[in-house]
């Protein structure tokens, strides 16, 4: 049987009101067990040789969620993951 994960919610977590400094979390759920995984991304700028600049979101981490079907607990787990891992960005 295939495991299918659905993107349930995307949240931004950061220390300031500036969205550019935030870490983006994508929270995924499985229909059978609820919220199971969150992937963290940080936005970076790349400058090409011709001087053009591009922004992209790069994966910088992930965490396994044990929050069942409670989205508030899943978000709390992302906040905890951010504080433990990315507060230094």
pLDDT digits (tens, 9 = 90+) for 4-53: 899 999 999 998 777 778 999 999 999 888 888 999 999 999 998 898 99
What's the pTM value of the predicted model, to 2 decimals?
Answer: 0.86
d(CA 17, CA 10): 17
DSSP 86: T
């Amino acid at each position: 049987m295939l495991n299918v994960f659905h993107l349930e919610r995307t949240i931004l977590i950061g220390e300031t009101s500036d969205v550019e400094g935030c870490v983006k979390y994508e929270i995924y759920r499985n229909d059978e067990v609820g919220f199971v995984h969150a992937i963290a991304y940080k936005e970076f700028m790349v400058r090409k040789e011709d001087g053009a600049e591009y922004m992209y979101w790069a994966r910088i981490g992930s965490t396994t969620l044990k929050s069942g079907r409670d989205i508030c607990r899943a978000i709390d787990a992302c906040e905890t993951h951010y504080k433990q891992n990315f507060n230094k960005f």
